Amino acid sequence: MATLATTDASFETDVLKATGPVLVDFWAEWCGPCKQIGPALEAISGELEGSLSVAKMNIDDSPTTPARYGVRGIPTMMLFREGRMVDMKLGAMPKGKILEWLADMGVTAAAA
């Protein structure tokens, strides 16, 4: 599954009312580190399909939600469960570190 583009208008449906955990990447087109982690998040979205959804929010196009959650720097990744933000990471991380963080938060690949 590819990552989902979410906006201020669709955030409630895409993230807060989602079934299962959602990793939200707050990013911007001009952000180099954001572009670096993009391919890793696409891969993670596929690898953890059925266990995790990955949503991306462009902070320039949708500034209200990042402000509501106190996003001060990008990339910022937030993990949401049952409509609540349960953890957050700031800055670019390699794919392995993101997967390690998610595993520590109880998000692993669905059993086949």
* Contacts (Cβ under 8 Å, ≥6 apart) of 18: 53, 80
**What pLDDT, in 10s, does the model give residues 35-92?**
999 999 999 999 999 999 999 999 999 999 999 999 999 999 999 999 999 999 999 9
pLDDT at 56: 97
Q: Please say if 56 is a catalytic residue.
A: no
pLDDT value at 110 more than 80 = no
The answer to whether 91 and 101 have CB atoms below 8 angstroms apart is no
pLDDT band at 2 (very low <50, low <70, confident <90, very high): confident
Listed by start position, the domains of the chain span 4-103
Q: Collapse the DSSP code of 100 into the 3-class scheme (helix H, G, I; strand E, B; otherwise coil) and give the result.
A: helix
Choose, from 15, 23, 24, 31, the residue flagged as catalytic: 31
Average pLDDT, integer, range 12-21: 96
Which CATH number does the domain 4-103 belong to among 3.30.420.40, 3.55.40.10, 3.40.1280.10, 3.40.30.10?
A: 3.40.30.10
Looking at residue 13, the DSSP 8-state letter turns out to be I
Choose, from 23, 24, 34, 92, the residue flagged as catalytic: 34
Q: Please say if 50 is a catalytic residue.
A: no
Provide the residue type at 75 as one letter: P
